Amino acid sequence: MIKLCHIDDIPEDSSKGFEYNDHSLFAVKKDGQLFIYKNSCPHLGVELNWQEDQFLDMDNALIQCSTHGALFLIEDGQCVAGPCLGEQLQTIAYTIEDGMVTVDSR
Ligand code: FES
């Protein structure tokens, strides 16, 4: 198990990237809920962000790939615009214990 951070370390309507053991993930907090995805665009398999912790569009309403601009729903990672329309980001399961967000290390 890998402890990513404390739930309060991710402000509302923002995203944060994490790297460990060759894994790249990111978390988005919206309406007090946390969503975690693998940092890999279904279009070309590249990382979505070009700047640290920047995974959202200008309105912080959707997840955006910086390479070709694909847009994904924060709630389920489904692509709603762009070259991978209809495909989905890979969800990462997590648990929160004493405020610490933890994911499986595999
Ligand atoms: S690599 Fe993400 S939209 Fe093309």
Q: Per-residue pLDDT for the chain (106 aa), expressed as one digit of tens each?
A: 999 999 999 999 999 999 988 899 999 999 999 999 999 999 999 999 999 999 999 999 999 999 999 999 999 999 999 999 999 999 999 999 999 999 987 7
CA–centroid distance, residue 63 to ligand 1 (Å): 12
**Ligand 1 pocket, residue 44 CB under 6 Å:** yes
**Ligand 1 pocket, residue 96 CB under 6 Å:** no
Tokens (6 digits) for 75? 């709630």
| Per-residue confidence (pLDDT) for residue 13, from 0 to 100 | 96
CA–centroid distance, residue 15 to ligand 1 (Å): 18
Task: Count how many domains the chain has.
Answer: 1
**Ligand 1 pocket, residue 40 CB under 6 Å:** no
| Per-residue confidence (pLDDT) for residue 105, from 0 to 100 | 75
**Ligand 1 pocket, residue 89 CB under 6 Å:** no
CB atoms within 10 A of CB 16: 21
> How crowded is the C-beta side of 70, counted as CA atoms within 13 Å?
26
- List the CATH number of the domain containing 73: 2.102.10.10
